[in-house]
Structure 1
Amino acid sequence: MVSFTTIVTTALALIPGAITAPSGLVGYNIHSNSLETRQTPWQWWTEGQGQFSCQQQGGGKYSCTWSGKAGGGMVAGTGWGAGRKTVKYAGQYNAKGPGYLSLYGWTRNPLIEYYIVEGWDVLAPGEPWTLRGNFTSEGGNYLFYTAQRVNKPSIDGTRTFTQYFSVRVDAERRIGEVSGSINTANHFDAWSKFGYKIGGFAGSMFMVTEAFANGTKLPTGTSTITVS
């Protein structure tokens, strides 16, 4: 088990400060400006300049290629009903630049946007992250952060809300050939123990590939992920 001192040191190395990602990078359906209407088993959204291509291939499998320019980004992934369950994933995640391979969803009362981040090349939070603690789940070591978004798009329109992030420690991040198992209940319970509860699940949750430009750092890569 990684010591808390080691984890905090790793955390400080991971956080690049108050770096701003595109303000709308929260998972819109490409055909709609409503987060609520995009809650389907397939999420596919882009903004700004760049070349982005993602396809749902059936059987829980999707693939993406991306090369973003300044201000450009994308989110794509396979979804299903949110809740306390185990999600398995496997495939290839070959990313360069800012972005995540993560499980993603929302709750209401309170309004929370949550991420369980399994892989990345560069972490670039939209708002400053605050470290709240660390925990283990299924043999993996995670850091728990929160952030606040003020008057930003949400599933309930423009709102102020909190983001929760479980992030694998740097030494355990998944990149290249990836596979893993996420027990969402372990994360929800850990967050609650730190004093950060979730609300009622809203719509679907998704295993997504997310990529976005961050200043002069531009995202490129490919992913082919199967979830079950």
Structure 2
Amino acid sequence: MVSFTAIVTAALVLIPSAIAAPARTLDSYSAPNSLITRQGSPWQWWTEGQGQFSCQQQGGGKYSCSWNGKSGGGMVAGTGYLQQQSRTVRYSGTYNPKGPGYLALYGWTRNPLVEFYIVESWDVLAPGEPWTLRSNFTSEGNNYGFYTAQRVNKPSIEGTRTFTQYFSVLNQDQKKVGTVGGTINTANHFDAWSKAGYRLGNFEQNMFMVTEAFANGTKLPSGTSTITVS
């Protein structure tokens, strides 16, 4: 999968906030210039390439985005959570994508180095690297497929490295587009991955509920989202 969240030299925009967030949801900001610093920040807002991208965090765990990407263009925006191995994430709002991208919970671990996603909604997934299905499981009444992918000599929170990506992907017939909402119990996903033989490492970075959009070949992204998380 094209993973724009793994670009070390991405440019970020500083957006102030004056409204307190729900418990454990973080609403402070920084303007880092490297992935490891950005991943430690509670708010992600990053773009690359050409296109029109606009995202604003509105406080209280809420953010809104609109995007219209051109070739090579993409964006990631999301609200972060305190470093924690397991937690329950609740989200609601609207998500209206066209083209590649997804609404997902996203994060990293070290030892082993893993980039992980819990994908709740999308229009076109368009993975860059081949996905391999490892298992199927149920969480919170929803059915997911667990996939892995290998990224070779790509940017990571430890610099240019080879690492594995984990993806929980909600079944096509259960995903929602337009009005969205749900509960993600991360412990269920982490346990399912472990049972399939794929463990996570140390949780030293924050997790984020993100809207991600990217161009993949002739497939271009556009859409809007307004998401509240707690």
TM-score (norm 1): 0.88
Tell me, in whole angstroms, the C-alpha distance in 2 between the residues paired with 1:29 and 1:195: 36
Number of the residue aligned with 2:197: 195
Number of the residue aligned with 1:186: 188
Give 1:16-55 correspondences, 5 Å limit.
Answer: 21=2, 24-26=4-6, 28=10, 30=12, 31-38=31-38, 39-55=40-56
Tell me, in whole angstroms, the C-alpha distance in 1 between the residues paired with 2:87 and 2:5: 26
Read off the aligned partner of 1:47 and give its amino acid letter: E
When structure 1 is superposed on structure 2, of 87-96 and 39-48 the one drifting more is 39-48
Tell me, in whole angstroms, the C-alpha distance in 2 between the residues paired with 1:226 and 1:24: 22
Q: CA RMSD of the aligned region, Å?
A: 1.3
| 1:125 Cα deviation from its structure 2 partner | 1.0
| 1:26 Cα deviation from its structure 2 partner | 2.4
Please say if residues 69 and 221 of structure 2, whose CA atoms lie closer than 8 Å, have aligned partners that are also in contact: yes
Moved over 3 A (4+): none
Please say if residues 73 and 211 of structure 1, whose CA atoms lie closer than 8 Å, have aligned partners that are also in contact: yes
| 1:33 Cα deviation from its structure 2 partner | 3.9
Helix, strand or coil for the counterpart of 2:162?
strand
Tell me, in whole angstroms, the C-alpha distance in 2 between the residues paired with 1:24 and 1:165: 15
Please say if residues 29 and 35 of structure 1, whose CA atoms lie closer than 8 Å, have aligned partners that are also in contact: no
Number of the residue aligned with 2:131: 129
| 1:126 Cα deviation from its structure 2 partner | 2.1
Helix, strand or coil for the counterpart of 2:163?
strand
Tell me, in whole angstroms, the C-alpha distance in 2 between the residues paired with 1:102 and 1:174: 13
| 1:173 Cα deviation from its structure 2 partner | 1.3
Number of the residue aligned with 2:69: 68
Number of the residue aligned with 2:162: 160
Identity of aligned residues (%): 74
| 1:29 Cα deviation from its structure 2 partner | 5.8
| 1:83 Cα deviation from its structure 2 partner | 2.2
TM-score (norm 2): 0.87
Give 1:1-20 correspondences, 5 Å limit.
Answer: none
Number of the residue aligned with 2:57: 56
| 1:40 Cα deviation from its structure 2 partner | 1.2
Q: C-alpha offsets along residues 34-60 of structure 1, whole Å, 9 cap, x if unaligned?
A: 111112111011010000000010000
Match for residue 120 of structure 1 among 101, 104, 122: 122
Unaligned residue ranges in structure 2 (runs of 5+): 13-30
Match for residue 99 of structure 2 among 97, 100, 112: 97
